[in-house]
């Protein structure tokens, strides 16, 4: 399917709503042909899907036709796509591991089929939890052990003498044991408050956590903190735990290291019972190089699902890159999204590594200054772009309540605009420049040298009407080799001065104050959604490091120490309290889905930032020592204002210098480009939010 752009006349391509896109951003007009061309390719892909499978609905049900399908009469049909294979066999417990006595029949277009009739007693020849393998005979007559790309359940060997290669097992429980859903899926949140989490590290014990433990112990925490959505990482099966789930080996198998498929369903069902929207961190940007338990060289060739080298290899990630122009690869990936939506009831998706999918350079060695020429040139990978357009188009057809998020650092225009406009169709993109900015400031500058205007620019510099997910730090900043914001601020004394019984510490006081201010400033000004990585809400100490050869397979840093937030004698509670109250304030006043905040003050000498959004007025004093009585600020509406959130409150680790009960009266005087003026007291290193009472 690749190469279509050379045959498309952009002047003849109708893009239904391109005028909307061009009217909002006239600078895109000179690139109109590029936008029309990629939309033309998108339409040609849909036409080929209609011709091949009837429609996109049929096309995206690949899991109903490929892999191991057991019907209601216990008849087994096995189909695989292995265009480079010479012969194909199925082996396993069912045939005493004879590698060649159960051959597939070769069909057209690289497809293979095998039918196993029920046993004489009517039972299924492939028993629940029994093991199977695909045997691929290549052109040299070699027999290669493989797992089906469509495998829905794979497990680690329990006996390490068997090696570390995952095993494919049949997941076909008795009908009475099939998981029964109890709760409806929630509507997509108007305000998206995301708790990014990883099931395996969600226990405080030195081991891998489970789906059921997460459902029982962590979901209630998330609800109490005021989040309305979770983003689950590391769900798609990955043989290497330390990859954080980003080197996927079995795309249709939910990771068995945390439990069974039904136990993942119970986790999601529990989340839905609490009204929590569940996002899957989906990795379609690349795949593990594993051959025996991955997709790599499945049919004995170095292509199949991937481009052949060098195009099919990611030089930095040491992984394989999909051939998005191939009909069967598209079927595999689009069906994969639908599988998680239908089988596990995931509500939405966060797409990992989108920048790599958009450009032939994979985003490496490109600065992305923001000049539009960087987004419309020969470096752009039309096949990757059109795959993402198809994915978003399909998901929105299947479920109007779906939310999709792009991890894109390049800032390509139109990523978060509808496909009908010529965009890629995502709802949000991650505001990846924000955490980079905070870490850079903490690494290189004292806070007395921070530039208020520069900070506001980074937080507000995003495309109009392309929504962004703001965050101070995600899992990336927590990994070993880097530090969390809390650790950058307080690592010297986090082991000795976080007790409320310990002597006052300027380092800890500064750290808690700035941690709270950084989070609220990002939350209020940085985007149309907010994300926090698990544990960062209470300043989790240390970094995150999975068990691996380099640390003697230790789980010491692959866990979350929840007791730190729960201990009333520790100061972690202050950070945790602040996180919860920020969420509760957003729940009440709902600023995320509104227009971006209007910054009315960026005073470099006073270190003051003031902005208003959704009627709330946010005031920040980053000065290290100066507090300001009767400081004039501009406010959008006339009336009496009250303090509704104040980081100087004792419950947030502050010094209680503000009386939140004192009303503030606006004057009908134009100030700082706002129609009204108000005088406020702003202590040093404090964030305050005001709401109009009357």
pLDDT tens-place string over residues 122-171: 999 999 999 999 999 999 999 999 999 999 999 999 877 677 899 999 99
Q: Label residue 7 by pLDDT band (50, 70, 90).
A: confident
Residue 658, domain CATH: 2.60.40.1180
- Count of domains for the chain: 3
Last residue within a domain, chosen from 17, 34, 57: 57
My answer on whether 25 and 92 are in the same domain is no
My answer on whether 81 and 96 are in the same domain is yes
My answer on whether 32 and 91 are in the same domain is no
On whether residue 305 sits in a domain, the answer given is: no
The per-residue pLDDT for 694 is 74
Read off the pLDDT of residues 266-286 as tens digits, 9 standing for 90 and up: 999 999 999 999 999 999 999
On whether residue 553 sits in a domain, the answer given is: no
Q: Which residues participate in catalysis according to the annotation?
A: 352, 407
On whether residue 550 sits in a domain, the answer given is: no
On whether residue 141 sits in a domain, the answer given is: yes
Percentage of residues in the chain having pLDDT higher than 70? 99
Last residue within a domain, chosen from 155, 177, 199: 177
Q: Label residue 1 by pLDDT band (50, 70, 90).
A: low
My answer on whether 679 and 610 are in the same domain is yes
On whether residue 75 sits in a domain, the answer given is: yes
Look at residue 233 and give its three-state secondary structure.
strand
My answer on whether 71 and 157 are in the same domain is yes
What whole-number distance in Å separates Cα of residue 147 and Cα of residue 298? 8
Look at residue 420 and give its three-state secondary structure.
helix
- 307 contact partners, CB below 8 Å, separation of at least 6: 321, 322, 323
The label of the residue with tokens 């507090």 reads 627
My answer on whether 172 and 66 are in the same domain is yes
- 121 contact partners, CB below 8 Å, separation of at least 6: none
Give the domain range for residue 633. 598-692
My answer on whether 41 and 101 are in the same domain is no
Is the model's pTM score more than 0.95?
yes
My answer on whether 116 and 153 are in the same domain is yes
On whether residue 304 sits in a domain, the answer given is: no
Parallel, antiparallel or unpaired: strands 664-665 and 229-233: unpaired
My answer on whether 97 and 162 are in the same domain is yes
Last residue within a domain, chosen from 133, 155, 177: 177
What whole-number distance in Å separates Cα of residue 664 and Cα of residue 685? 21
Give strand ranges (E) for 377-446.
Answer: 404-406, 428-430
My answer on whether 17 and 75 are in the same domain is no
My answer on whether 124 and 26 are in the same domain is no
On whether residue 39 sits in a domain, the answer given is: yes
On whether residue 34 sits in a domain, the answer given is: yes
My answer on whether 39 and 68 are in the same domain is no
Residue 164, domain CATH: 2.60.40.10
The token pair at 93 is: 């417990």
The per-residue pLDDT for 5 is 60
């Amino acid at each position: 399917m690749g190469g279509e752009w050379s045959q498309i006349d952009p002047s003849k391509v109708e893009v239904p709503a391109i005028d909307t896109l061009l009217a909002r951003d006239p600078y895109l007009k000179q690139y109109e042909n590029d936008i029309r061309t990629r939309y033309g390719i998108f339409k040609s892909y849909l036409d080929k899907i209609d011709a091949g499978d009837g429609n996109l609905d049929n096309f995206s049900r690949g899991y109903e036709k490929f892999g191991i399908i057991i019907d209601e009469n216990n008849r087994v049909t096995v189909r695989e796509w292995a265009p480079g294979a010479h012969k194909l066999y199925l082996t396993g417990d069912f045939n005493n591991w004879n590698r060649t006595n159960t051959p597939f029949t070769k069909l057209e277009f690289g497809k293979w089929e095998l039918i196993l009739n029920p046993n004489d007693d009517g039972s299924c020849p492939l028993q629940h939890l029994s093991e199977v393998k695909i045997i691929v005979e290549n052109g040299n007559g070699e027999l290669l052990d493989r797992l089906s790309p469509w495998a829905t359940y794979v497990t680690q060997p329990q006996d390490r003498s068997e090696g570390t290669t995952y095993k494919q097992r049949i997941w076909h429980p008795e009908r009475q044991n099939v998981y029964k859903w109890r709760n409806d899926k929630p509507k997509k949140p108007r305000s998206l408050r995301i708790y990014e989490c990883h099931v395996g590290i969600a226990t405080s014990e030195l081991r891998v956590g489970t789906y059921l433990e997460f459902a029982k112990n962590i979901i209630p925490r998330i609800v109490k903190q005021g989040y309305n959505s979770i983003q689950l990482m590391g769900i798609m099966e990955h043989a290497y735990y330390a990859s954080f789930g980003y080197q996927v080996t079995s795309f249709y198998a939910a990771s068995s290291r945390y439990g069974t498929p039904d136990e993942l369903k119970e986790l999601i069902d529990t989340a839905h019972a609490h009204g929590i929207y569940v996002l899957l961190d989906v990795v379609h940007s690349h795949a593990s190089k594993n051959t025996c338990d991955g997709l790599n060289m499945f049919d004995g060739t170095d292509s199949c699902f991937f481009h052949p080298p060098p195009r099919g290899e990611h030089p930095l990630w040491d992984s394989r890159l999909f051939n998005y122009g191939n009909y069967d690869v598209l079927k595999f990936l689009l069906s994969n999204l639908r599988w998680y939506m239908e089988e596990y009831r995931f509500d939405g998706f966060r797409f990992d590594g989108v920048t790599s999918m958009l450009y032939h350079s994979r985003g490496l060695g490109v600065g992305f200054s923001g000049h539009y020429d960087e987004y419309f040139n020969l470096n752009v990978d039309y096949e990757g772009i059109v795959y993402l357009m198809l994915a978003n188009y399909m998901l929105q057809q299947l479920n109007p309540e779906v939310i999709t998020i792009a991890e894109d650092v390049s800032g390509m225009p139109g990523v978060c605009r509808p496909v009908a406009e010529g965009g890629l169709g995502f709802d949000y993109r991650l505001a990846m420049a924000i955490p980079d900015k905070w870490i850079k400031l903490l690494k290189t500058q004292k806070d007395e040298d921070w530039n208020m205007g520069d900070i506001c620019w980074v937080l507000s510099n995003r495309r109009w009407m392309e929504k962004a997910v703001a965050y101070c730090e995600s899992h990336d900043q927590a990994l070993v080799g880097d530090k969390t914001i809390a650790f950058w601020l307080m690592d010297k004394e986090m082991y000795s001065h976080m007790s409320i019984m310990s002597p006052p510490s300027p380092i800890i006081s500064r750290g808690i104050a700035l941690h709270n201010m950084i989070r609220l400033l990002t939350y209020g000004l940085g985007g149309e959604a907010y994300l926090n990585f698990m544990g960062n809400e209470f300043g989790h100490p240390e970094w995150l490091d999975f068990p691996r050869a380099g640390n003697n397979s230790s789980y010491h840093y692959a866990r979350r120490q929840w007791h730190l937030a729960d201990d009333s004698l520790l100061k972690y509670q202050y950070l945790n309290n602040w996180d919860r109250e920020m969420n509760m304030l957003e729940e009440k006043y709902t600023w995320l889905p509104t227009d971006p905040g209007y910054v009315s003050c960026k005073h470099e000498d006073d270190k003051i930032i003031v902005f208003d959004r959704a009627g709330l007025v946010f005031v920040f004093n980053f000065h290290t020592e100066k507090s300001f009585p009767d400081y004039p600020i501009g406010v959008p509406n006339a009336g009496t204002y009250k303090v509704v959130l104040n980081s100087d409150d004792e419950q947030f680790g502050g010094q209680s210098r503000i009386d939140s009960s004192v009303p503030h009266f606006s004057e009908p005087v134009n100030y700082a480009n706002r129609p009204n003026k108000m005088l406020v007291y702003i202590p040093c290193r404090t964030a305050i939010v005001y709401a109009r009472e009357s």
